[in-house]
Amino acid sequence: MASVVDRLGGEPVVRALVERFYDLVETLPQGAQILHLHFRGHGISHVRTAQFEFLCAFFGGRRDYMERPGALSLKEQHLHVPIRPEDAEDWLALMGQALQDVGVAEPVRGQVFGAFQRAARALINREAGAVAE
């Protein structure tokens, strides 16, 4: 059975997805809080490469990211980030747009987006409407 990375179109499509997503984060109002949250953590300079490597592993491709010493689970990586439901929904809206923009077709787009929905919502650790930090 082909990995999700393969069904997406391979690593070039995963790379394009990450690049498009962060282009949207950095330019659209919906991305402002996501960008702010990145600056609270390790900054934005490394995030495109890290997310590409993470998604490759998450979707059954190469495991470089997971095999690094000190690799953390998705939840552990985000414990220090105050994520509200509205932040998760903004993230999902932008990732949904990125999936569409890079031409990921159904049914794989729906399957990938479903995985993103479960992951994003599992990271929520603040109440809706809480003051954005």
Write out pLDDT tens, residues 39-82.
Answer: 766 667 788 988 999 899 989 998 776 666 666 678 888 888 88
Q: What is the pLDDT of residue 69?
A: 63
Q: How many residues does the chain have?
A: 133
Question: Domain 4-122, CATH 1.10.490.10 — does that match?
Answer: yes
Best CA proximity match to 51, nearest among 18, 83, 74, 75: 18
Is it true that the peptide bond before 82 is cis, omega within 30 degrees of 0? no
Q: What is the pLDDT of residue 39?
A: 76
Is residue 133 within 8 Å of 40, Cβ to Cβ? Answer: yes
Task: Give this prediction's pTM.
Answer: 0.89
Q: Break the chain into its structural domains and give their ranges.
A: 4-122
Q: Average the pLDDT over 94-114 and give the result.
A: 97
